[in-house]
Amino acid sequence: MTIKTVIYVAIDVDFPGAHGGSTHVGEAVHSLAKLCQQVYLICKWKKGQSLVEKQENCTIIRVPRSSLAFLRVINYCLFPFLVACYLMITKNIDMVYERGRIFGGGGILAGYMTGRKTVYEIIEPYTIIPVIVGDIKENALVWKAIKKWHSFIVNRASLVTVTHKASLAGIMHKRILFIHTGADPRKFRPEKASSSLVKKYDLVKGKTLLYIGSFSPWHGCEYMIQAIAQLAKKDKKIKLMMIGEGQKLHACIQLAKTLGIQENVIFIGKVALGKVPEYINASDICLALFDRKYAPFRKLGYYYSPIKIHEYKACGKPVIASDYPLLREIIKEGINGFVVDETKVSELVIAIKKLMRNPQVMQKMGKKNREEVEKVYNWDYFNKKVLES
């Protein structure tokens, strides 16, 4: 069966937005809109956005979200269920693709009841994370309800996609597809460094590092700053651009001040997705460090499939990432970057020095990375697998 019309449910995500979930959803939907004839995105509404918006062969339907916790079930399940049912009555829908979340699954249920192909995307092991971080007690009534609903929805899906084996805990399903996230090689591609950025931040070729992401508890932002402090003792021209906002931002700004490297660490703030390639191309080495002290990582051995790494690679940059099994699949030591124990700053410093001292190695790694994204780590590659499975 050829899939022509798709409903994509991402009720916990606002689109467009500046966070990773928004990027994931936007890029996945953009790809599906190219591969199919029509996509209907059901996502979260935020103030200032239209409830319904049409963009070429994609229609965005935004659902308001209640601020009351006990009403979120209505947001996450009932509203997507009703909207999906309406679309299946009025449109010729072939497939429902839903981004999993606690008490979600309304789109999957609607598709199951009407005999459509249904794909449940489990981007993280969301049933166990609240227990690990202490938000919910194990075996509490609400947790039992979450697990039962999760199992119910999973068993109504035609296909389940996961990025990490931890997401399979408690799942028994005949059709499971392991996938990665990706990057759009048309948007993210190697280009000459922007002269305006180089001038604005006084960047020196071969000595500029970049981090993109939130300043969240699970990101190793402080380790990057500590590494720059060590490197800047001997080379004042080294710069680290840090893009994003979050819980640890002010602490990181203070750390840079304490270490006396305010001139070496540049806090950019939020950047629109369309501008991100410009910053990547202005850098020489890109960082993706995830703090193994974060309880879920310590328990599960990491569980994300980070988009930032694929975007770095698409622009032809070598990458230094945290040493986790999943990341070793996409960053092969010495071939397209290095993996380190991010908590050991000395390892990070050594990896950076290796790259900075060998421009030809950086160029070779960057070329390899670009080739990998063009062939495999792009949204079209994985969406084709989903559509054909």
* CATH number, domain with residue 337: 3.40.50.2000
Give CA–CA dist 355/319, Å, rounded.
Answer: 10
My answer on whether 38 and 66 are in the same domain is yes
My answer on whether 142 and 221 are in the same domain is no
At 7, is the secondary structure helix, strand, or coil?
A: strand
Q: Which domain holds residue 74?
A: 5-178
In contact, 70 and 45? CB cutoff 8 Å: no
Per-residue confidence (pLDDT) for residue 166, from 0 to 100: 86
HEC string of 167-224 equals: HHCCCCCCCEEECCCCECCCCCCCCCCCHHHHHHHCCCCCCEEEEECCCCCCECHHHH
Asked, for residue 381, whether it belongs to a domain, the answer is no
My answer on whether 275 and 301 are in the same domain is yes
Q: Phi/psi at 144 (nearest 5 deg)?
A: -60, -40
Asked, for residue 380, whether it belongs to a domain, the answer is no
Burial letters 128-160, b for 16+ CB under 10 A, else e: bbbbbeeebeeeeeebeebeebbeebbebbbbb
My answer on whether 272 and 346 are in the same domain is yes
Which of 178, 209, 243 is at the close of a domain?
178
In contact, 79 and 11? CB cutoff 8 Å: yes
My answer on whether 41 and 91 are in the same domain is yes
My answer on whether 282 and 333 are in the same domain is yes
The conformation of residue 2, written as its DSSP 8-state character, comes to -
Question: Which residue shows structure tokens 């000395």?
Answer: 346
- The pair of structure tokens assigned to 227 is 């590494």
Global pTM value: 0.92
My answer on whether 250 and 318 are in the same domain is yes
Which of 178, 211, 228 is at the close of a domain?
178
Give CA–CA dist 326/225, Å, rounded.
Answer: 24
My answer on whether 89 and 211 are in the same domain is no
At 234, is the secondary structure helix, strand, or coil?
A: coil
Considering Cα of 29, then 152, then 389, then 161, what sign does the dihedral take? positive
Amino acid identity of residue 181, one-letter, is T
Torsion of CA 87, 90, 91, 93, to 10 degrees: 50
Per-residue confidence (pLDDT) for residue 1, from 0 to 100: 67
Bridge partners, 198 (sequence order): none
- The pair of structure tokens assigned to 125 is 């092991």
pLDDT in tens, the chain (389 residues): 688 999 999 998 888 876 778 889 989 999 999 999 999 999 988 888 889 989 889 999 998 877 666 677 777 788 899 999 999 999 999 999 999 988 899 999 999 999 999 999 998 898 899 899 888 888 889 888 889 999 999 999 999 999 888 888 878 888 999 999 999 999 999 999 999 999 999 999 999 999 999 999 999 999 999 999 999 999 999 999 999 999 999 999 999 999 999 999 999 999 888 899 999 999 999 999 999 999 999 999 888 888 999 999 999 999 999 999 989 999 999 999 999 999 999 999 999 999 999 999 999 999 999 999 999 999 999 999 999 98
Which of 152, 178, 204 is at the close of a domain?
178
Per-residue confidence (pLDDT) for residue 18, from 0 to 100: 66
The conformation of residue 60, written as its DSSP 8-state character, comes to E
Number of domains in the chain: 2
Asked, for residue 345, whether it belongs to a domain, the answer is yes
Element at 38 (helix H, strand E): strand 38-44
Asked, for residue 36, whether it belongs to a domain, the answer is yes
Considering Cα of 296, then 297, then 299, then 301, what sign does the dihedral take? positive
Give CA–CA dist 78/74, Å, rounded.
Answer: 5
My answer on whether 205 and 112 are in the same domain is no
Give CA–CA dist 302/370, Å, rounded.
Answer: 25
My answer on whether 153 and 209 are in the same domain is no
My answer on whether 165 and 260 are in the same domain is no
My answer on whether 281 and 152 are in the same domain is no
Asked, for residue 271, whether it belongs to a domain, the answer is yes
